Amino acid sequence: MSRLSLPLLCAALAAASCGNDQDNPFADFAQLEVIPPDADLVFVSNLHAGPGTFREVFALRIADGAVTRLTFCTEVGGPCDNLEAAPHRDRRRLASRRITEDADQDGFLGPSDGVALVVSQLDAGFESPFTPPLVNVTGVDWLPAAEVILYSGTDPTEGDDLFTVESTGLNTSNISNDPTAIERRARMEPAGRVAVFERVQALGPDSLPLQGPVRSEVWIFQSPAIQFRVTPGGPGDGALPGTRVQIGSDSDPAFSPDNAQVVFRRLTANTNGGRGSWDVLRADAGGLQQIETVASGPEFRGAPDWGPAGIVFVEWDAATGTKQLVLIRPDGTGRQTVLSVPANEELANPRWVPLPLSQ
């Protein structure tokens, strides 16, 4: 697969810039903790307060199961529910997807309230939203070796697109800008040259918003003009209740540490109380559509991430409802449960803490 160097990718992203300058947004003090130097993962959970409460961001050391709470927004400053967090290589910053207000005034935090991009300076105790909730941020990652955040969200005129924003909150850019497709859940490769993302193609020009169930695929983004498909989606009909997610959809891709493969999950059945059954698979990142199964079966499995020790994902036990953080080798062997919470607590979206660029 041909590659763009990091400078070329950054130039391509800059060419799509909206030029949306504003003042530095960091203004609000918050209680925060730095990611421990020996932590392996971050994840979101309500294990700090139990059932019926909202989620915070935690770090986990796999060797002994030690957990460190990083954010405390559920206890100060009003409503807050953390959906996902991407750690920076310096371990001092987080870029998070967060519900920040009860926009519809119904007493709950949920999809109708929107999702903002929030950046936390953990060591300084500052954090601020980089987007309003109406953007409905669906994915977030950092560009390695660049002070830029990659995220997906809603453009009022184009539908779901990929965006970049500087780590100061300045210069937001819509880099995909395709009115005939939905692009979301983008992740950078460790070398910082290309991104992998989830894509839904509309049936024809100017046909967004989409109607009826749609099947998503995994694609590679090299520049606004160069993109190609990695997976075609799987078989099946029907959709998850209350959604347009069709059986066979490929979702939530992430690169392997050597950039040669991507891991993703595929919806295989409409089960588990509407959450669905999901397999975890891996594919060649060069677009050859060579796909291998990592984990399969009737369970619900969340978005996977691939790090130096293997592939990690959340799995819900179909019989007990217990939620487990599972670590598995890329060939599907060596399964290990590194954290488990009861059925009435939340556990979602584990992400490996990236190594510093010097390692």
Position with higher pLDDT, 295 vs 193: 295
For the chain, the domains span: 26-129
Position with higher pLDDT, 224 vs 21: 224
Count other C-beta atoms under 10 Å from residue 357's C-beta.
12
Q: What average pLDDT does range 170-177 have in this prediction? A: 90
pLDDT of 356 over the 90 cut: no
pLDDT of 28 over the 90 cut: no
52-56, 223-227, 308-312 — most confident range: 308-312
> Which residue in 117, 81, 111 sits closest to 97, CA to CA?
117
> Which residue in 185, 250, 184, 244 sits closest to 217, CA to CA?
250
pLDDT of residue 11: 46
Q: What average pLDDT does range 304-320 have in this prediction? A: 93
User: Mean pLDDT for the chain?
Assistant: 86
pLDDT of 21 over the 50 cut: no
Tell me which of 17-31, 70-84, 136-150, 182-196 is least confident.
Answer: 17-31
Q: Model confidence at 27, in pLDDT bands (50, 70, 90)?
A: very low
pLDDT of residue 1: 33
Q: Tell me the per-residue pLDDT of 150-172, one tens digit each, with 9 for 90 and over.
A: 999 987 666 789 999 999 999 99
> Which residue in 186, 98, 101 sits closest to 148, CA to CA?
186
Q: What average pLDDT does range 300-313 have in this prediction? A: 97
Cis peptide before 209 (omega within 30 of 0): yes
Q: Tell me the per-residue pLDDT of 260-279, one tens digit each, with 9 for 90 and over.
A: 999 999 999 998 888 899 99
Tokens of 45: 């959970």
CB-CB contact of 217 with 234 (8 Å): no
> Which residue in 16, 58, 119 sits closest to 353, CA to CA?
58
CA distance 204 to 211: 12
Strand, helix or coil for residue 277:
strand
Q: What average pLDDT does range 280-308 have in this prediction? A: 93
Contacts 24+ apart (CB under 8 A), 145-150: 145/6, 145/192, 145/357, 146/6, 146/10, 146/192, 148/10, 148/13, 149/95, 149/117, 149/119, 150/186, 150/187, 150/188, 150/195
pLDDT of residue 181: 86
- Edge-to-edge order in the sheet of strand 181-188: 181-188, 195-201, 217-223, 226-229
Residues 6 or more apart from 151 whose CB is under 8 A from it?
95, 117, 131, 137, 139, 140, 141, 162, 163, 164, 165, 186
Predicted TM-score of the model (pTM) = 0.88
What share of the chain in percent tops pLDDT 70? 86
pLDDT of residue 347: 96
Q: What average pLDDT does range 247-257 have in this prediction? A: 96
* Alpha-carbon separation of residue 216 from 129, 220, 250, 253 (angstroms): 29, 13, 5, 11
pLDDT of 9 over the 70 cut: no
Position with higher pLDDT, 50 vs 322: 322
Q: What average pLDDT does range 332-358 have in this prediction? A: 91
